């Protein structure tokens, strides 16, 4: 059940990455003489060598390394606690949210409004979780949350756009937030949340677009699970928002250097495929809705707990034994409500895990031991993936999919075998493999 997480961490330690006994010290190589220090280690990948630097005393179980099909960046830090590519216990993910929020609170003013933003697709749920923890710590404080997205009901709903240059899907849309969400102006703080930062470019690009849109903040805090920027992320955001104080918090700090192997062809993104599912656009009116238009602080605790028991019963979970292995899946950007459901279910079934489908084209390896490839949920004609899920390891699988039953691709359904699907209006249907 946790084989992917345990296996990739064990392999990384065996190879010496962050273990204190590296395969080689980069400073020993004449070609990179500037990289000296006992904490530099090297991880060899197909497309080149990734050199990493860390300091002692930091957690070593937050991520694994993987290769991906992307000419802009051939490697990926795969989080073991995010619940995207590796199934995670809800309590472990909640602990990470609390740790990150605690660090954030140390950097935020004691009062004043706060606006939190998370990046699609990977940090949509992470941002929502940080927002919820901040609201729990200060329930009377004006706090709002909004996620970037790659989907909009109508073109008129798009407030502005920004780019994430190294991503497999670089375009982000920021929709016009609903009332009560946006918190800016004198005394306001902006919190930008992502799973990682390597150069700070993604943070800078969003900050610059927000500043150009007329938003003003006295303080900006960047929050990540892993920060590889060595301060450049905060520095670049300072340039994008003149006059604002900028700080950065993370659970892990390091540095990286990519040395490409020029004898290898650059990995290419997967091409377009025939769309299997119908074309889909969000309505902005669904019961279970990604925070594309934002969530106000008053709604932070009103997302799914009230209907979780009914969904669990209709999904057939109430007949399972206490030690049943339950897998809850989100789909693409639709991850926050599925996580809250998994968290509630785990109180009765402690062997519950959470993961999600993704557009990120990661190659199989130590971090990705199982890979299901299927057409996307949205009718775009793109490949999507479900990583590290072997259906036979689970007694029940519950898939939350905002595109409904029609948005469950046949390949995914046939591979999973049997699954309870929860649509955008919290309706439950049971789908089975076509014989």
Q: Comparing 37-46, 197-206, 225-234, 424-433, which segment has the lowest mean pLDDT? A: 37-46
Predicted pLDDT of residue 362 = 95
Q: Is the pLDDT of residue 24 over 70?
A: no
Q: Which residues, other chains included, contact 178 with Cβ-Cβ below 8 Å and sequence gap of 6+?
A: 293, 294, 296
For residue 54, the 8-state DSSP code is E
The residue among 420, 414, 350, 360 whose CA lies nearest residue 387 is: 360
- DSSP tag of 266: P
- Closest listed residue to residue 362, CA positions, set 60, 3, 73, 41: 73
Q: Are 403 and 377 in contact (CB under 8 A)?
A: yes
Query: What confidence tens digit (pLDDT) does each residue in 134-165 have?
Result: 999 999 999 999 999 999 889 899 999 998 66
pTM assigned to the model? 0.92
| φ, ψ of residue 98 in degrees (nearest 5) | -70, -40
Phi, psi (rounded to 5 degrees) for 406: -70, -15
pLDDT interval class at 33 (50, 70, 90): very low
Kindly state the average pLDDT of the residues 53-73. 89
Look at residues 182, 196, 199 and name the one whose alpha carbon lies nearest to residue 117. 182
**At residue 13, does pLDDT exceed 90?**
no
Instruction: Give the pLDDT confidence score for residue 270 in this predicted structure.
Output: 86
DSSP 3-state of 220: strand
Domains and CATH numbers, the chain: 3-79 (no CATH), 90-253 (3.40.50.2020), 299-432 (no CATH)
Looking at residue 429, its pLDDT comes to: 97
Query: Residue 128 has what pLDDT?
Result: 96
| Per-residue model confidence as pLDDT tens digits over 375-417 | 999 999 999 999 999 999 999 999 999 999 999 999 999 999 9
- Cα gap 117→121, rounded to integer Å: 12
Average pLDDT of span 79-87: 97
**Pair of tokens at residue 292:** 């594309």
What per-residue confidence (pLDDT) applies to 434?
A: 62
Helix (H, G, I), strand (E, B) or coil at 393: helix
Residue 59 · residue 250 · CB < 8 Å: no
Q: How far is CA 320 from the centre of its chain?
A: 30
- Mean pLDDT across the stretch 28-39? 42
């Amino acid at each position: 059940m946790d084989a992917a997480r345990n296996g990739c961490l064990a392999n990384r330690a065996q190879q010496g990455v962050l273990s204190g006994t590296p395969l080689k010290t980069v400073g020993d190589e004449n070609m990179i003489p500037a990289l000296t220090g006992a904490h530099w280690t090297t991880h060899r990948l197909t497309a080149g060598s990734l050199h990493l630097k860390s300091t002692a005393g930091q957690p070593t179980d937050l991520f694994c390394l993987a290769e991906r099909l992307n000419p802009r960046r051939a490697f990926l830090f795969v989080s073991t606690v995010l619940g995207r590519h590796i199934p995670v216990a809800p309590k472990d993910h909640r602990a990470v949210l609390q740790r990150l929020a605690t660090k954030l609170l140390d950097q935020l003013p004691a009062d004043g409004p706060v606006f939190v933003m998370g990046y699609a697709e990977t940090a949509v749920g992470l941002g929502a979780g940080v927002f919820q923890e901040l609201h729990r710590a200060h329930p009377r404080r004006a706090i709002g949350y909004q996620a970037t997205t790659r989907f909009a009901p109508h073109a008129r709903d798009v407030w502005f756009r920004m780019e994430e240059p190294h991503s497999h899907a670089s375009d982000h849309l920021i929709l016009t937030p609903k009332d009560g969400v946006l918190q800016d102006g004198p005394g306001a703080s902006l919190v930008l949340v992502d799973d990682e930062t390597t150069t700070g470019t993604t943070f800078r690009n969003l900050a610059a677009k927000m500043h150009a849109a007329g938003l003003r903040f006295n303080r900006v805090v960047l929050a990540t699970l892993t920060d590889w920027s060595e301060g450049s992320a905060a520095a670049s955001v300072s340039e994008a928002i003149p006059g604002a104080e900028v700080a950065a918090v993370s659970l892990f700090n390091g540095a990286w250097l990519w040395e490409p192997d020029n004898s290898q062809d650059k990995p290419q993104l997967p091409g377009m495929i025939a769309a299997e599912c119908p074309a889909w656009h969000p309505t902005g009116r669904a019961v279970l809705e990604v925070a594309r238009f934002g969530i106000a602080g008053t709604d932070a605790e009103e997302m799914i707990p009230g209907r979780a028991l009914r969904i669990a019963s209709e999904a057939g979970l109430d007949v399972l034994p206490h030690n049943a292995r339950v897998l809850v899946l989100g789909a693409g950007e639709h991850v926050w409500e599925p996580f809250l459901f998994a968290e509630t279910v785990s109180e009765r079934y402690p062997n519950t895990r959470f993961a999600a489908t993704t557009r990120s084209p990661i190659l199989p390896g130590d971090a990705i031991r199982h890979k299901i490839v299927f057409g996307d949920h949205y009718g775009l004609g793109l490949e999507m993936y479900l990583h590290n899920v072997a259906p036979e390891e689970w007694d029940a699988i519950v898939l939350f999919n905002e595109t409904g039953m029609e948005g469950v691709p046949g390949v995914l359904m046939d591979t999973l075998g049997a699954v309870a699907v929860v649509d955008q209006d919290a309706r439950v249907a049971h789908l089975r493999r076509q014989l």
